[in-house]
Copies of this chain bind each other. A is one copy, B any other.
């Protein structure tokens, strides 16, 4: 399978990001997600917001313990445009990023809420330590065998193993009618 590099150029202080996807060779496998050959896109932390999520349950690693995460779904320009216009399937070049953090809380924050809004029992939590980041990269030719999407998962900048990446596409099959994307674009408050 050919490998790809996703090159994203951040423009100074602007949030604008120009993305290109081009097949290359001779790159080290160790930086690319297995199966799909996707490298960590530069600048994704500055992409625009699609939506926000919470995930709770047991740890995905099977190591035990409770999982409680806050998550942000960000999109490159092609993805944001498609979400807003309701375009399905997503166009080639669209990339969706899912940033995952451990959900943490602060006594300091909650005491301030209690002082400001007594009797309401408000509790706040926020995105604490980083967990991982996942990507869906649309390329209808290259990834024809997985609904036109390539999948990638990185922890501390390093891709997960092949067994992990084999789980991505089957999990997204139930959302086939939405081009395999579960995420909804959050309305503007």
CA distance A108 to B175 in the complex (A): 9
A55-98 CB mask vs B (1 if < 8 Å, else 0) is 11111100000010011101001001100000000000000000
| Identical subunits present | 2
Residues of B within 8 A of A17 (CB): 15
User: A119: which B residues are within 8 A, CB to CB?
Assistant: 58
For chain A, the bracket of interface size reads 35 or more
Tell which of B11, B60, B74, B188 touches A120, judged by Cβ atoms closer than 8 Å: B60
A4 at the A/B interface (Cβ < 8 Å)?
A: no
Q: Which of B11, B111, B120, B155 contacts A58 (CB 8 A)?
A: B120
26 contacts between A and B (CB under 8 A): A13-B81, A15-B47, A45-B48, A52-B101, A53-B124, A53-B125, A53-B126, A54-B70, A54-B125, A56-B122, A56-B123, A57-B117, A57-B121, A58-B120, A58-B122, A60-B122, A67-B122, A112-B171, A112-B172, A115-B171, A116-B167, A116-B170, A126-B184, A132-B189, A133-B188, A154-B189
